[in-house]
Amino acid sequence: MQVGPEHIKVLISNDGNNWIEKAEYTSGLPSASKAIYNSPVIINSNPFTKVSFSITKTFGDRQYFNLAEFMLYNVQIDIYDPEI
């Protein structure tokens, strides 16, 4: 049986311990197989090094969910080199 996420949180961090919630999705998420979901754009002005994609609830309250692909678009990567 294919199960989709019903509640998603997207968080960012620089140290992996302190997380800032950037987005929360609780409606419009696909519950069937072969469904496509494009979230609204998440805009962030502060640099970060880690992203957490947290599923807090699934359809049917299952203990698992199915995810075939996860893509990030238009990501700006800034590299800091302290030797320059």
Asked whether 53 and 23 are in contact (CB, 8 A), the reply is: no
pLDDT 10s per residue in the chain (84 long)? 678 888 999 999 999 999 999 999 988 887 776 677 878 888 888 888 888 989 899 888 888 888 777 777 777 777 777 787
Asked whether 58 and 65 are in contact (CB, 8 A), the reply is: yes
Question: Which among 66, 68, 69, 67 is positioned nearest to 1, based on CA atoms?
Answer: 66
Q: Tell me the pTM.
A: 0.74
Query: How far is 73 from 18, CA to CA, in rounded Å?
Result: 25
